[in-house]
Amino acid sequence: QVRLVESGGGLVQAGGSLRLSCLASGRTFSTSKMAWFRQAPGKERDFVAAISWSGGITYYADSVKGRFTISRDNAKNTVSLQMDSLEPEDTAVYYCASQRNTDQSMYTVRGYNYWGQGTQVTVSS
């Protein structure tokens, strides 16, 4: 059992920045990767970025490369998403997710076992 809680969402103008945080609690010892997904109204939940818990290797969706940075603090069981040069297209509810096994798909919702409640990010033009 893992509980994930996101924070840091808000309203920002295009070109601005936000930093999202996710705090994990419970049985986090088996965590393989943690990731951020986002979901806009009427659309599917899409992959944004992921990080391996042990090695810190990062992965990004093409749409956010060069603008977003994912990081983690293993001691504090937190993962963060620094979002720079935000665009209106980044507007969505952002979810933190935890993957239990390395053989699970990293880029799809099915590949993650635990999810946070989501935090709203709105980028105005």
Write out the two tokens for 10: 């808000």
Q: What is the mean pLDDT of residues 24-52?
A: 95
- Hey, is 70 helix, strand or coil? strand
Write out the two tokens for 26: 């419970």
Q: Using one digit for the tens of pLDDT, what is the confidence trace for 39-89?
A: 999 999 999 999 999 999 999 999 999 999 999 999 999 999 999 999 999
Nearest-5° angle of CA 86, CA 88, CA 90?
A: 60
At residue 102 the predicted structure's pLDDT band, cuts being 50, 70 and 90, is: confident
At residue 103 the predicted structure's pLDDT band, cuts being 50, 70 and 90, is: confident
Q: How far apart are CA 112 and CA 100, in angstroms?
A: 7
> Is residue 101 pLDDT above 90, yes or no?
no
Q: How far apart are CA 108 and CA 122, in angstroms?
A: 23
Can you give the pLDDT at residue 73? 94
Q: What is the mean pLDDT of residues 27-32?
A: 87
| Unique residue bearing structure tokens 């979002």 | 83
Can you give the pLDDT at residue 65? 98
At residue 28 the predicted structure's pLDDT band, cuts being 50, 70 and 90, is: confident
Q: How far apart are CA 42 and CA 61, in angstroms?
A: 20
Q: Facing residues of 3 across strands? A: 25
- Half-sphere exposure (Cβ direction) of 5: Cα atoms closer than 13 Å: 4
- Hey, is 30 helix, strand or coil? helix
Supply the mean pLDDT for the chain.
96
